[in-house]
Amino acid sequence: MRIPLSYNVRNLLVRKTTTLMTALGIALTVAVLVGVLALTEGLRTSFKATGHPLNLLVTRRGATSEMLSIIPRGSFLRLRAFPGIASTPDGEQMASLEVITAITLKNRDNLEGVNTNVRGLLPAGLAMRENVRIVVGRNMIPGRREVIVGRSVAARYPSAALGKNIKFGRGEWPVVGVFDAGRSALNGEILGDLNQIASDYGRSEALSSVLIRATDPVAAEALKNQLEADRALNVGVQSETAYYESQMTSALPLQFMGTLIAIIMAAGSSFAAMNTMYAAVSRRSAEIGTLRVLGFSRGSILVSFFIESLALAAFGGVLGIALALPLNNLETGISSFTTFTEIIFSFRVSPPIMAAGLVFALLVGAIGGLLPARSAANKQILTSLRQV
Across the chain, which has 388 residues, the per-10-residue mean pLDDT values are 64 73 82 85 78 91 88 92 88 92 78 81 91 93 94 88 91 94 87 94 91 93 93 91 75 68 73 67 61 65 76 88 90 68 80 91 79 64 51
pLDDT, position 378: 65
Which whole-number Å values give the CA distances from 324 to 37, 45, 265, 294, in the listed order? 11, 18, 16, 44
239 is a domain residue: no
Q: Rounded to an integer, what distance in angstroms lies between the CA atom of residue 290 and that of residue 356?
A: 38
Q: Say yes or no: 293 and 270 in one domain.
A: yes
37 is a domain residue: yes
**How many other CB atoms are there within 10 angstroms of residue 253's CB atom?**
11
106 is a domain residue: yes
Q: Is residue 38 within 8 Å of residue 353, measured between CB atoms?
A: yes
What is the value of pTM for the model shown?
A: 0.75
Q: Say yes or no: 88 and 203 in one domain.
A: yes
Q: Rounded to an integer, what distance in angstroms lies between the CA atom of residue 306 and that of residue 299?
A: 10
241 is a domain residue: no
Q: Say yes or no: 214 and 330 in one domain.
A: no
Q: Could you give the number of structural domains in the chain? A: 2
Q: Say yes or no: 169 and 103 in one domain.
A: yes
Chosen domain end from 179, 203, 233: 233
12 is a domain residue: yes
pLDDT, position 96: 94
Q: Is residue 98 within 8 Å of residue 194, measured between CB atoms?
A: yes
**How many other CB atoms are there within 10 angstroms of residue 257's CB atom?**
11
pLDDT, position 286: 59
Backbone angles phi, psi at 128, to 5 degrees: -75, -15
Q: Say yes or no: 43 and 68 in one domain.
A: no
Q: Is 159 helix (H, G, I), strand (E, B) or coil?
A: helix
pLDDT, position 41: 83
pLDDT, position 183: 82
Q: Say yes or no: 182 and 297 in one domain.
A: no
pLDDT, position 61: 92
Q: Say yes or no: 181 and 314 in one domain.
A: no
Which whole-number Å values give the CA distances from 253 to 139, 257, 260, 284, 336, in the listed order? 37, 6, 11, 46, 11
**How many other CB atoms are there within 10 angstroms of residue 77's CB atom?**
11
Q: Say yes or no: 357 and 300 in one domain.
A: yes
Residue 207's domain comprises 62-233
Q: Say yes or no: 40 and 69 in one domain.
A: no
364 is a domain residue: yes
Q: Is residue 328 within 8 Å of residue 38, measured between CB atoms?
A: yes
240 is a domain residue: no
Q: What does 341-376 look like in DSSP terms, one character per residue? A: SEEEEE----HHHHHHHHHHHHHHHHHHHHHHHHHH
pLDDT, position 92: 86
Q: Say yes or no: 189 and 285 in one domain.
A: no
Q: Say yes or no: 207 and 158 in one domain.
A: yes
Chosen domain end from 178, 203, 233: 233
pLDDT, position 65: 85
Which whole-number Å values give the CA distances from 49 to 131, 155, 181, in the listed order? 9, 20, 9
pLDDT, position 283: 62
pLDDT, position 25: 80
238 is a domain residue: no
Q: Rounded to an integer, what distance in angstroms lies between the CA atom of residue 44 and that of residue 35?
A: 14
Chosen domain end from 202, 233, 264: 233
Q: Say yes or no: 199 and 338 in one domain.
A: no
